[in-house]
Amino acid sequence: MTTQAPRARHDPLTRGVWHDRNGRAGTILTAALLLACLTAAAGLLPYDPLAQDPTTRLRAPSAAHWFGTDQFGRDVLARTLTGIAASLRVAAVAVACAALIGSFLGVLAGYVRGRLDAVVSRLADILFAFPAILLALAIVAALGQGWFNTAVAIAVVYTPIFLRVARGPTLSVREAEYVKAAKVLGYGPARILLRHVVPNVSAPVVVQTTLALSWAILTESGLSFLGLGTQPPQPSLGLMVSEARNLLTEAWWTLAFPAALIVVAVVALNLLGDGLRAALDPREGTR
Amino acid sequence: MAGSGGPLRFVLGRLAGTAVTLFGVAVVVFVVLRALPGDTITAKLGTEAAALDPDQRAALTRYYGLDKGPVEQFLGWLGGVCQGRLGVSLDTGVPVRTLIADALPVTVELALLAMLIATPVGVALGILAASRPGRARDLTTQTLGLFGLALPEFVLASVCVAVLATVFSYFPDPGTYTPLTESVGGNLSQLIYPALVLAVGLAATIMRTTRTAYLENARSEFVRTARGKGVSPLRVRLGHILRASLVPILTMTGIQFGYLLGGTVIVEQVFALPGLGRLLLQGITQQDYAVVQSTTLLVATAFVLVNLAVDLLYRLLDPRTR
Amino acid sequence: MNGPLLEVRDLRAAVGDLDVVRGISFGIAPGETVGLVGESGSGKTFTALSVMGLLPDAARVTGGSIAYEGRDILRLPERERRSLRGAGIAMIHQEPLTALNPLMRVGAQIIEGLRAHGVPRAEARRRMLDTLDEVGLPTPDRTARRYPHQLSGGQRQRIVIAMALAPRPRLLIADEPTTALDATVQQQILAQVDRLRRDHDLAVLWITHDLGVVARLTRRVLVMYAGRIVEDAPVRALYADPRHPYSAGLIASLPPAPAPDGTPAERTPLPAIGGTPPDLAALPPGCPFAPRCPQRADRCTTEEPPLTDRTACWVPKEKWT
């Protein structure tokens, strides 16, 4: 995941996040989630999330099945963890694409200005004219269902947001005296971009990435809930909630655990985002 | 000194900008929902439209402009849309205009109801949190707000429906929807729960905006000046801090209302309300592109216009921008 | 009433754990003008805000007393204290744009202060217009309908002054009211406030780092350093014969004598005295000025000198080098 890029031990950003109360909680929760996802992805779970067992239908949480079982006797814990791993995969693919393309276009538009900037910014404005969920739905409608198309839809929604986030700082850096000086000294655009623009753009982009990831998880599970995202029998948190809807009174655990995990993931990423913002802008601190 | 250009010029400028954006929106809708799934539409017209009578089929062929080039298709479609020709549903043969006319009031009412619930709650909680920053009530409110944002609508809606079914033996059914014109009480009893579900996330967003704006204004110099004049604490809070915070709060509320017009899909689906969101979803699952296209265009247009209204309102509220 | 209008005794204030005002005492007589000078961070503004009862959330008064007309206002119930604010003691702040509410017409902002002290609506409006006229704003009824952003910097500062003076306070605290303005406007406004002071028999505490302003407008000067008063002297005495090495440094770096008409030759920010301003979080054990002091003696680094009749310094003037 993009937010988890390795950083030097004494990097002020990591230290700042850790000093912020929200940042610390967010880091711990996100790390725990990633660990759980890795466990699921590596096939280390005691149960197969797809294996049906008619003899263990709708069992309440127990020592054998911590989160209980669903109406097909499948282990809810295994399905929940596989589901959040799937959600995170979609979210990570989508946000990574949006962040890379959006930031690249934003820096390019902000640095080159001129007609390119006008066209790119106008395009972003037009995409902004759609409510996010509507745009995602329209794209899924055009491309068809499935997790990859969901990722594409989320990426399209978020690309203009990253574009704006990257373009602003690029514009101000471009006008800064030290950049003008660097130009006078004859440094090429590549050096100026790498030395001056990228460091200024990366901070807001990183913060935006955590928020985008949390929104992407909500969108992915929402689309799956509507039957437009991940398709059964693949476990997905949205689908699990959808299937558990009518079981709520007899088997609350089939809904409660997947729902709780979505909440935990979104809260974790938001807290991490708050922490990053506080570390990058001390005025916003919550320590 | 007084703003340059004058208000009329500003309004005209914004209207022109909005027109360009709307044209862009139409292009995007056309490209995404007409050009991308082009083959699907042709195929569907060949197979399923067999059930339609020749007139309806002809109307659809004309609507999609299948015999023309893409630019002509687009212009023809846009021209038709402007004259209210929104095509015919592939499944039922009902004109899309009729479908939308039936669905729109449901969604608008739902969105308004949700706003009506969420705005006072969000503003009150935001002020409550900001009045003692960093203290217990602030942390509690902020935690509630974070969970309000993180709790997916579909979970809340599902739980709500399950509880209604168990406790009140109430089962949502699109066939039994009561319009407002028929029975106010019956209508409200069907809309109040979905509105409450929508209001949770909304209130959380409005709470956060209120808190941030209120805190920022409470720290400002003019508030210290007001206190220095001996103005009472209540008047400082309402007349100065809250008054100054209203601009961002109203902006956020307006934007959220715009989002709601397209964001009711899940709630309408779970509560079986025959609104725009459900219409859109049915259109998507049945690949009924005339329905999807028109609904999307309508909601996006409404969103753009709501944003324009918010922008103009903002000018009215803040004398610095007049 | 006899005796001082304001009597501050051993006032202490802290921001969190940091002591920013460390036991200061001074008095202001009715109609007197006093200057409070010092570098930024010396505690001038915190002193003023303590008197007003407008300290920011993180700061609080930790000791001492502030008597206004003989009553310790720190012990007054909040309601009575509020009735003093604006009507008894008024304050004008540095930046006139941010001091005014951008969303309210300026006339309404003046009226609000009068209404807060029970002035009837019609009377408040009349007094608002009178005060606008008094502070030298032309066409008061038109100006009253303006929003702050529609006025120039000088006009805005006049509004702020009118707002402070309309309820007829007895003491005005002016916290660097002209730093944000250009030199000409600055002079006009200072002159205007001084005229109003004489007309209304107003006591004024001028807070500034501009010794030129102090020389022109005040009779007595308090020099603050690191949260304490290091010298308390009549203006003439301070200029002719500073008794604290810090004051001496300030005077020495002033531009040549003011012009005959009283206009200072040039606005000067606080002159560069050798060394760095004190870090309040890590003050040395003795005199806080000792690390920068050219007259430093042994005792200065171990024991902080008290403010005696005029100065807080261990080394008598005769022994200066």
The DSSP symbol for C32 reads -
All residues of chain A having their beta carbon less than 8 Å from the beta carbon of residue B299 are 131, 134
Interior/surface letters C236-257, b for 16+ CB within 10 angstroms, e for the rest: eebbeebbbbbbbbbbeebeee
Q: What per-residue confidence (pLDDT) applies to A287?
A: 35
Residues in chain C closer than 8 A to B320 (CB atoms): 102, 147, 149
Q: B101-321, which class in CATH? A: mainly alpha
Quote the crossing angle between the two packed helices B243-263 and B184-218, to the nearest 10°.
140
Whether the Cβ atoms of residue C242 and residue C251 lie closer than 8 Å to each other = yes
A176 lies in some domain: yes
pLDDT for res A4:
39
- Helix/strand/coil for C102: coil
Q: Which of B20, B150, B162 sits opposite A263 (nearest CB)?
A: B150
DSSP category for residue B271: T
DSSP state of C39: -
Nearest to B155 by CA among A83, A77, A68, A222: A222
Whole-number Å distance between alpha carbons of A251 and A254: 6
- Distance of alpha carbon A75 from alpha carbon A88, whole angstroms: 20
Tens of pLDDT, residue by residue over A65-77, are 677 777 777 777 8
pLDDT over 70 at A2, yes or no: no
CB contacts of A244 in chain B (<8 Å) are: 158
Cα separation, B52 vs B60, in Å, equals: 10
Report the complex ipTM: 0.84
SS (H, E, C) chain A: CHHHCCCCCCCHHHHHHHHCHHHHHHHHHHHHHHHHHHHHHCCCCCCCCCCCCHHHCCCCCCCCCCCCECCCCCEHHHHHHHHHHHHHHHHHHHHHHHHHHHHHHHHHHHHHCHHHHHHHHHHHHHHHCCCHHHHHHHHHHHHCCCHHHHHHHHHHHHHHHHHHHHHHHHHHHHHCHHHHHHHHCCCCHHHHHHHHHHHHHHHHHHHHHHHHHHHHHHHHHHHHHCCCCCCCCCCCHHHHHHHHHHHCCCCCHHHHHHHHHHHHHHHHHHHHHHHHHHHHCHHHCCC
Highest mean pLDDT: which range of A232-246, B36-50, B275-289 = B275-289
Give me the residue spans of the domains in chain C.
Answer: 98-166
* pLDDT attached to residue B268: 92
B2 touches chain C (CB under 8 A): yes
Q: B137-162: per-residue pLDDT in tens?
A: 888 998 898 888 888 989 998 888 88
Closest in C86, C100, C149 to B230, CB measured: C86
Average pLDDT of the residues in B33-48:
65
- Per-residue pLDDT, B37: 65
Give the pLDDT confidence score for residue B51 in this predicted structure: 66
Considering its fold, how many domains does chain A have in total? 1
pLDDT value of residue A250: 78
Which pLDDT band, with edges at 50, 70 and 90, does C30 fall under? Answer: very high
Encode pLDDT of A97-145 as tens digits: 999 999 999 999 988 888 999 899 888 988 888 888 888 888 888 888 8
| Strand C220-225 relative to strand C171-175, pairing | unpaired
Q: In what order do the strands lie in the sheet with C18-28?
A: C18-28, C6-15, C59-68, C71-72
What confidence tens digit (pLDDT) does each residue in A187-219 have?
877 888 888 888 888 888 988 999 899 999 999
Mean pLDDT, rounded, for B29-45 = 70
Predicted structure pTM score? 0.82
Residue A193 to chain B, least CA–CA distance (Å)? 31
Return the higher-pLDDT residue of C35 and A57.
C35
Cβ-nearest to B152 among A122, A221, A227: A221
Q: Which of B 85-144 lie inside 8 A of A, CB atoms? A: 134
> What's the pLDDT tens digit per position in C161-181?
999 999 999 999 998 877 767
B262 touches chain A (CB under 8 A): yes
Closest CA to B23 of B276, B300, B290: B300
Greatest alpha-carbon span in chain A: 77
* Residue A30, domain CATH: 1.10.3720.10
Domain that holds residue A203: 13-39+87-280
CA–CA gap between residue C120 and residue C106 (Å, rounded)? 18
Distance, CA of B153 to CA of A203 (rounded, Å): 31
- B239 close to C (CB below 8 A): yes
Q: What is the mean pLDDT of residues B98-106?
A: 90
Is it the case that residue C262 has pLDDT exceeding 60? Answer: no
Cβ proximity of C217 and C207 under 8 Å: no
